[in-house]
Structure 1
């Protein structure tokens, strides 16, 4: 992977490619202010059009769905912050119950994807939220952790999302405002790993080439890896604001 300036390092710390590595086609570039995302327009014809049929959320998180409101009935376990030794091992500084954390992130991602209002609490802990700022934050509680307050204060709709074209996916990332990046995933291994990680799953369930691709996605914070489990982070937005150019 290389940055737009050819240095091998981009605004969010892209890694230079190994000389002996097969390039996986993760193109990273800042979007032009006046440009629409590349590829065909896959947005609904109306900014507030919902997909036909009932909304189906992952059953792995207990919840009640009433109209466009979701109430999660049990506190969620999000990724915890790991120590420096874990950071050096390349797992992104996350620890905790990998299955519970990635399934919780998948659930919140799908709530965001369908334009649903979700109310939930989190279990006590020191969280690593850098990659999760685009997700709906938890309900406000007295004496909550400072990182949860900051998450709520800085959250905005459309901070991270993906759009799909023929044989490629574009991802818009505005989690590090005011900077923004557009990723293009057009290598078959990256696409297959991205699609597989639509569902939270153990990395061991992926073939070796997809595990390597999952690591590359996690390095750019397009996937989350926690204790051997992984899930893709960018939602596909099914509901767009007015004007839709706002995101």
Structure 2
């Protein structure tokens, strides 16, 4: 049915969603790592009725890859499916991305992926991360002000640092860096999975 799908370019996506346009299946055309994707939040997608996003262009190991990974993270936070393909190697350890909607043609990623695989919760003066991407759940509690600042500031791609807190979060797989820019990988749970024992 025509009302079940909406086709929109990457550059127009944020404006169209904010204007109330939406459909269960969203088909995104144009550059998939447009920096403008940073304005698209999971809440915006969910409230517009989007439950699946199909990316027309292939994704590559481009300077804008972190912008696309943030988009995947935002969709994953609400359990929104994203159908996408990569043009080859993404230039990073893809096991760190197994909590994000898998790319087409990657059976390892698809079999490992599930909602809530790597997420965080915020408390007064701490952030608790639950990470199951590489095995059993490993809860990590961040109490350092620098670590908490990085988690908040790198919600969107931002500059990499040489601080010990930054290096520690990269080594633990909670931040991904391309050398110049970085992004926080865990997402906040926006819905409770069923069964709740899944996380």
User: TM-score scaled to structure 1, two decimals?
Assistant: 0.58
1:230 counterpart = 2:155: no
Q: CA deviation at 1:244?
A: 1.7
The correspondence of residues 14-163 of structure 1 with structure 2, limited to 5 A, is 59-60=36-37, 67-77=50-60, 96-97=61-62, 99-125=63-89, 128-140=93-105, 148-163=106-121
Contact 2:79 2:115 in 1 (8 A): no
SS at match of 1:59: helix
The aligned residue for residue 143 of structure 2 is: 186
Distance across 2 between alignment mates of 1:156 and 1:193: 25
Contact 2:95 2:134 in 1 (8 A): no
Between Structure 1 and Structure 2, how many residues are aligned?
Answer: 160
Distance across 2 between alignment mates of 1:123 and 1:221: 23
Q: CA deviation at 1:66?
A: 5.9
The aligned residue for residue 164 of structure 1 is: 122
Contact 2:159 2:182 in 1 (8 A): yes
Residues 1:126 and 1:110: Cα distance change in structure 2 (over 3 Å) = closer
Contact 1:162 1:172 in 2 (8 A): yes
Distance across 1 between alignment mates of 2:165 and 2:83: 33
Larger % of helix: which? 2
Residues 1:76 and 1:242: Cα distance change in structure 2 (over 3 Å) = same
The aligned residue for residue 23 of structure 1 is: none
Q: CA deviation at 1:175?
A: 1.0
The aligned residue for residue 47 of structure 1 is: none
Contact 1:101 1:226 in 2 (8 A): no
The aligned residue for residue 5 of structure 2 is: none
User: TM-score scaled to structure 2, two decimals?
Assistant: 0.71
Post-superposition, which runs of at least 4 consecutive aligned residues in structure 1 deviate over 3 A?
A: 63-66
Gaps of 5+ in 2: 1-19, 23-34
Gaps of 5+ in 1: 1-53, 78-95, 141-147
